[in-house]
Chain A
């Protein structure tokens, strides 16, 4: 159960970082 939470959290974190990456690329363009 503990490992399930870890892996599901890791999945959520990865895709959250992906969204930040999108925002970062967008910001780089504006600069």
Chain B
């Protein structure tokens, strides 16, 4: 570990702290329908959208209507993406003449992008046409992000409002989120990325002559080895920048290229790397301020932010330490950082970014439900690779996905105040609302669907040939690959451990089901809690009220998150990365 590495990590958290308040204030104004500097430009467009779609912008919905609107919107969007993928061969903007996507892969990808997961069991540049990338995948990057954000706003309204059943209008909130929050930042952000060298064009791929041809050997199906001199290379390109910025800002994560943010056309410079990481946390961090502002308790918003920041620092410190330490089995090799080398475990890491920025990116992308990667998590040391896995298992509530992080941590807040209420023998309260049996039941449904989905699918996959045939390493590392696949899918993260061949009928269909369950069956009970809270009267604070504004609350929240995660996943982690670490220390690797 180096001082420079720690400085960059500290600088990153400081910048996130700085963007929290302006982002939070702006989102509050957008969703409270207050004036913003973008109104003169966007308000006419907004009105035209409502006129065209016959939406009454003054009509608000109950939680059930809001949720059903969201489900219908997502279901129709998913079916449309499936159809685009299945017909891309006959559609325009396909200069490479790429064939239609196979049914199982098209289904898995449609579920993946609808749920904001962006799990990719394909190589983007050789599977998806430009039209599919833009009208299909990039559209979902915006739509699924907007859905997540507006659901978080509904949760905040549920806490803030009293004695009402009305929580907003799904179509109005989604339209305003797209027009005011996502599109302007993406427009400016894509220009920033283009300035750094991210490509943006519609050209067919370019074939170039290699300056230094090389000889490649390949073994055919008949077992014969053939030798070929490679003299040319195909340079994939396309409308990358416009997809790249929403990939991070919407915490989607699906790369234009298979190498994702490790590809120089997606992430060319250390600055673009830093900028992309800031984009990932900008909305989730800002939403904590929105929570405080809309509920009238800024200190509560900052307490939630502090709990998230603590867990973030714990994760990135562990990952950085594990990767900078290197592989102890390479005892004869100098793995220390110096002016000439980054040191540590550099397998599958970009020399442009080094250990600190790869450990930081891996932590950020899995704290949020982003899934973009600038290095391959499969090549991390066992403990370094366990950090992204744990981050997702905790529910991606450390800042979290856009909206999903806030409504995810809301579940833990409900559980934390419930536990605090049990300890002091009072009915638990949260910002003046009594937390009752129904709210806790719904919170537990949200927690259990994640656990059930991850562990059930992983258990089946590790004992069945159609599950184990896809792993590339035996032993505990193979278990980690499968566990990571279902954890990432259910948590709607989308990053892969990179060693698993997920493009099989089994993985395409089961990861799709995991993504759908992890997204929508978690959302529904959370929305029920929001509806329940909105109907309640507020009770005045008294001496017995557990404060949700200070360090004690932040500590209890962190403890609740860690304890629930540990109790649920420690056995699986013991058989995967922890066992692999212990065996590595004993001299055995996989």
Q: Name A's B-contacting residues (CB within 8 A).
A: 3-4, 7-8, 10-12, 14-15, 18-19, 21-23, 25-26, 28-29
Q: How far, in angstroms, from A14 to B67 measured CA to CA in the complex?
A: 14
Contact of B438 among A10, A11, A12, A28 (CB under 8 A): A28
Main secondary structure of the interface of B (DSSP, over half): helix
Residue of B nearest to A15 (CB): B75
Chain B residues packing against A (C-beta within 8 Å): 64, 67-68, 71-72, 74-75, 78-79, 82, 86, 103-104, 106-107, 110-111, 438, 441-442, 516, 520-521, 524-525, 527-528, 531-532
> Roughly how many angstroms separate A10 CA and B521 CA in the complex, as a whole number?
16
- Expressed in whole angstroms, the Cα–Cα distance for A29 and B63 within the complex equals 12
Q: List, in ascending order, chain A residues with CB within 8 A of B111's CB.
A: 11
User: Could you jot down 7 A-B contacts, CB within 8 Å?
Assistant: A7-B103, A11-B75, A12-B79, A18-B521, A21-B524, A22-B68, A28-B441
What residues on B are CB-neighbors of A3 within 8 Å? 103-104
Q: Smallest distance from the beta carbon of A31 to chain B beta carbons, Å?
A: 9
Question: Which A residues touch B441, using CB under 8 A?
Answer: 28
Check A29 against B524 for contact (C-beta < 8 Å).
no
CB atoms of A26 and B438 under 8 A apart? no
In Å, the complex CA distance between A12 and B79 comes to: 9
Beyond A7-B103, A7-B106, A14-B516, is A25–B71 a contact (Cβ under 8 Å)? no
B524 contacts across to A, CB distance below 8 A? 18, 21-22, 25
The residue in chain B whose Cβ has the minimal distance to the Cβ of A26 is B64
User: Beyond A7-B107, A11-B82, A29-B532, is A19–B68 a contact (Cβ under 8 Å)?
Assistant: yes
CA distance A28 to B524 in the complex (A): 13
Can you add 15 more A-B contacts, CB < 8 Å, to A14-B516, A18-B524, A25-B524? A4-B82, A4-B86, A4-B103, A7-B104, A7-B107, A12-B79, A14-B75, A15-B520, A18-B71, A19-B71, A21-B524, A22-B64, A22-B524, A22-B527, A26-B528
Which residues of the other chain, B, contact A25 by a CB distance below 8 angstroms? 442, 524-525, 528
Beyond A25-B525, A28-B441, is A15–B82 a contact (Cβ under 8 Å)? no
Kindly state the separation between the CA atoms of A29 and B530 in the bound complex, as whole angstroms.
12
The CA of A15 and the CA of B69, in the complex, are separated in Å by 11
What residues of B have a CB within 8 angstroms of the CB of A29 in the complex?
438, 528, 531-532
Once the chains are docked, how many angstroms separate the CA of A23 from the CA of B104?
30
B74 touches A15 (CB 8 A): yes
| Complex Cα–Cα for A3 and B103 (A) | 6
List A contacts of B110 (CB < 8 A): 11
Kindly list chain B residues whose C-beta atoms are within 8 Å of the C-beta of A12.
Answer: 75, 79
How many angstroms from the CA of A10 to the CA of B110 in the assembled complex?
12
CA A14 – CA B524 in complex, angstroms? 13
The 4 closest A-B pairs by CB, nearest first: A15-B75, A3-B103, A25-B528, A7-B107
Q: Taking each of A8, A14, A28, which has the highest tally of chain B beta carbons within 10 Å of its own beta carbon? A: A14
Residues of B within 8 A of A8 (CB): 79, 82
Rounded to whole angstroms, the CA-CA distance of A21 and B516 in the bound complex is 14
Q: Which residue of A lies closest to B516 (CB)?
A: A14
Q: Which residues of B contact A7 (CB under 8 A)?
A: 82, 103-104, 106-107
**From residue A5, how far is it (CB to closest CB) to chain B in Å?**
10
